[in-house]
């Protein structure tokens, strides 16, 4: 059964620094989502990654997918306070199209 | 289209009562997913539909939970004989499965259930 692991689960960082969130998954998949969630709110779609080697960028966030390694990364460049939120990766099972979420990375950016 | 909507937004019920939630997806979307999220956790997959057909259901879902999407448009999620452990945010999401570029999944605002 598909399992998704994110790390770190909590990240506190200074504004202006770079960091990477990792998402590993256990079975074959070539579709992966990244979401942002603010406290008390629903999920906002950030990226959809649909093939091996896919890379997408929006502002200070860049996501990539390596289906051979079963790994996706979300890279934050020159973090700003507004990026403080919880970030989830979600993987679509090739077998049955179930979508399995990681536990989330709670990102706190200090001004 | 205004996006995915869910009703009610909040529901407080007593243990043992039945509750029903509704989700209205984006109109051209043929896939609809239900998730449950508890505090500090990621959304947990419950079930999904393609049009009116329920294609997968989580093995963790007890028989007290049932979902329908009778005409392939809105969906309902019913919980019978609620327990305190059912307290959570119930999220609905929709997507289009017809073309690759529309695989993006859009979430509704959620229904927060509190069982007392």
Listed residue (B29, B27, B26, B66) closest to B50, CA to CA:
B29
Residue A28: what pLDDT?
A: 87
Rounded mean pLDDT of chain B?
Answer: 91
Q: Is A50's CB within 8 Å of B103's CB? A: yes
Distances in Å between the Cα of B75 and the Cα atoms of B41, B47, B49, B52, B60 are 24, 11, 9, 9, 20
A11 token code pair: 């990240």
Q: How far is A59 from A68, CA to CA, in rounded Å?
A: 27
Residue B11: HSE in the Cβ half-sphere, 13 Å Cα cutoff = 26
The confidence score (pLDDT) of residue B28 equals 84
Task: List residues in chain B touching A: CB distance below 8 A.
Answer: 33, 35, 40-45, 48, 55-56, 58, 91, 93, 100, 103-110
Q: Which residue of A has its CA nearest to B41?
A: A103
> What pLDDT, on a 0 to 100 scale, did the predictor assign at position B2?
75
B68, B61 in Cβ contact below 8 A? no
pLDDT tens profile B32-42: 999 999 998 99
- Minimum mean pLDDT range among A12-16, A52-56, B17-21: A52-56
Q: Is the pLDDT of residue A4 over 90?
A: yes
Tokens 């939630």 identify what position? Answer: B21
Which of A31, A33, A42 is closest, CB to CB, to B109? A42
Residue from A42, A58, A103 whose CB has the most chain B CBs within 10 Å, to mutate: A42
Q: Are B105 and B94 in contact (CB under 8 A)?
A: yes
Residue-wise pLDDT tens digits, A32-60? 999 999 998 999 999 999 888 889 999 99
At B45-91, the pLDDT tens digits run 999 999 999 998 888 778 999 999 998 899 999 999 999 999 999 99
DSSP assignment letter at B51: T
Read off the pLDDT of each residue in A97-110 and give the average, rounded to a whole number.
94
Q: What mean pLDDT is reported for chain A?
A: 93
Classify residue A35 by burial, with Cβ atoms within 10 Å: 0-12, 13-18, 19+. Answer: buried
Spatial neighbors of A52 by CB under 8 A, at least 6 apart, are A30, A65, A66, A67, A68
Amino acid B1: pLDDT: 55
Q: What is the pLDDT of residues A63-76, one digit of tens each?
A: 999 999 999 999 99
Q: Dihedral of the CA atoms A28, B29, B59, B9 (nearest 10)?
A: 130
Q: Does residue B102 have a pLDDT over 90? A: no
What's chain A's length in residues? 111
Beta bridge partners of B13: B115
């Amino acid at each position: 059964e598909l399992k998704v692991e994110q790390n770190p689960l909590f990240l506190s960082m200074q504004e202006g620094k770079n960091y990477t969130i990792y998402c590993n998954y256990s079975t074959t998949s070539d579709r992966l989502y990244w979401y942002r969630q603010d406290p008390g709110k629903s999920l906002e779609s950030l990226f959809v990654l649909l093939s091996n080697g896919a890379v997408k960028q929006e502002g200070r966030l860049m996501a990539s997918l390596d289906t051979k390694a079963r790994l996706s990364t979300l890279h934050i460049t020159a973090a700003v306070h507004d990026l403080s939120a919880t970030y989830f990766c979600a993987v679509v099972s090739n077998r049955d199209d179930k979508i399995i979420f990681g536990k989330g990375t709670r990102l706190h950016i200090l001004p | 289209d205004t996006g995915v909507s869910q009703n009610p937004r909040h529901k407080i019920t007593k243990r043992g009562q039945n509750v029903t939630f509704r989700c209205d997806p984006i109109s051209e979307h043929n896939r609809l997913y239900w998730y449950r999220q508890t505090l500090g956790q990621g959304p947990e997959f419950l079930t999904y539909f393609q049009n009116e057909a329920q294609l997968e259901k989580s093995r963790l879902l007890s028989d007290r939970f049932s979902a329908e999407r009778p005409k392939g448009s809105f969906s309902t999620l019913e919980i019978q004989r609620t327990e305190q452990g059912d307290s959570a945010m119930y999220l609905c999401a929709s997507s289009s499965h017809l073309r690759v570029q529309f695989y993006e999944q859009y979430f509704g605002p959620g229904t927060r259930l509190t069982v007392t």
